[in-house]
Structure 1
């Protein structure tokens, strides 16, 4: 496994300094771009799970990060990003084995069919809830599943400008949601608390609306959103 170790300091719930080691489980468009941005922030990133080892090696080299197996990415990680097609979720979870227990996992998967056209779960259930049933020992936080990957680079380049674009963020674990919020802010977005995992029933269909807006409507795919309450 190629390796690089960098240091990023952030505050945890008790105000203590700690390093953030992030494993990327699924190094395609979503995982590759988010992992690159987190590495640019100074996080210790390990890319994993790709059809091509050479692709993982290239991602790691370009980002100043590491690459390896799913088990290696999970081992010792403070946080993980699950960013694979829904059809590959079982395979990733199996490769992660028991070491995934107790880990914070940011999930950006939408439960789509092979053609990426229709949800295979819903309307009275969600992918977020299904993942929690499969691995109840994991601290699940769903986020980034309503943002096209093409938006990550321009948003990161504008990091610090206000108002920041928002990301629907939902979880049954408030402490995990808080930590995930720090990682979301690191890449230039603002977490928008969207309640518990049950609300994936409403957020996941919204992801298909963002697909329409980003890829089918004029103006390019780098779509973001921000909701405001008027006073």
Structure 2
């Protein structure tokens, strides 16, 4: 009886591990420097990636460079296709994204790399900074399982520091409250070649450019800067 139970538990563990290892269909909305770099890293890690923009026909070069797991589509295509939505758009575009994706964010993991800037993003950016970027995200993405990551590292460093060997992997502050968002967000950070440091959404403003998490930091350096126990 005990042997049967142990075998059943082992089988369940194996199934769970295999399920977690399944590739994630990722829709990257905003295929500029940040979205293009991250999407390429994930495609190279084995995830099917759809790069989306208002002009998907202009993404042929990016798709070719990202490899066989990449394709291009419209924003509507990506919203329908993806298990995980990645937003890498100027924050001023969030109201339009919210309207276009109405009803599609419910229960879906959304990883946002988008940052509000008061100058570039006008009143939308100023309000997001005043309210807190996570609160603003949740207002624009109702029902989404929100995670914020890659907000304070430049795309050049993403390219050059992914899967860093010397000095250990670069750490990425990863903000989420929902359990699935934390799990998926941490996995995507790792699959891109970095190490996640998990934090609650209430601290997401600390992940904005110019803050304590900015730059290329080791796990120990990032945790020290954020006052997180090693």
User: What TM-score do the two structures reach when normalised by structure 1?
Assistant: 0.78
Distance (Å, rounded) in 2 between the aligned partners of 1:135 and 1:42? 27
Compared CA separation, residues 14 and 182, structure 1 to 2 (3 A): same
CA apart distance, 1:114: 4.2
* Aligned with residue 27 of structure 1, among 20, 27, 31: 31
8 A contact 1:23–1:74 mirrored in 2: yes
2:110 corresponds to 1:105: yes
Alignment: residue pair count: 206
Equivalent residue number for residue 115 of structure 1: 120
8 A contact 1:83–1:109 mirrored in 2: yes
Distance (Å, rounded) in 2 between the aligned partners of 1:98 and 1:117? 26
Structure with more helix by fraction: 2
* Aligned with residue 143 of structure 1, among 140, 144, 149: 149
Pick the structure with greater CA Rg: 2
8 A contact 1:122–1:201 mirrored in 2: no
Distance (Å, rounded) in 1 between the aligned partners of 2:126 and 2:156? 25
- Runs of 5+ consecutive residues of structure 2 not aligned to the other structure: 1-12
* Aligned with residue 76 of structure 2, among 71, 76, 79: 71
Compared CA separation, residues 116 and 189, structure 1 to 2 (3 A): farther
Equivalent residue number for residue 217 of structure 2: 225
Equivalent residue number for residue 42 of structure 1: 46
Equivalent residue number for residue 200 of structure 1: 204
CA apart distance, 1:16: 3.7
Distance (Å, rounded) in 1 between the aligned partners of 2:73 and 2:129? 37
8 A contact 2:164–2:170 mirrored in 1: no
Compared CA separation, residues 160 and 76, structure 1 to 2 (3 A): farther
2:179 corresponds to 1:174: yes
CA apart distance, 1:162: 5.2
Compared CA separation, residues 149 and 13, structure 1 to 2 (3 A): farther
CA apart distance, 1:200: 1.8
Distance (Å, rounded) in 1 between the aligned partners of 2:138 and 2:15? 23
CA apart distance, 1:152: 1.1
Compared CA separation, residues 124 and 151, structure 1 to 2 (3 A): same
Task: Identify the range of structure 1 (13-22 vs 136-145) with the bigger mean alpha-carbon deviation.
Answer: 13-22
Equivalent residue number for residue 160 of structure 2: 154
User: What TM-score do the two structures reach when normalised by structure 2?
Assistant: 0.78
Distance (Å, rounded) in 1 between the aligned partners of 2:205 and 2:134? 8
> C-alpha deviations, 1:132-156, integer Å up to 9, x for none?
1233310000110011111111122
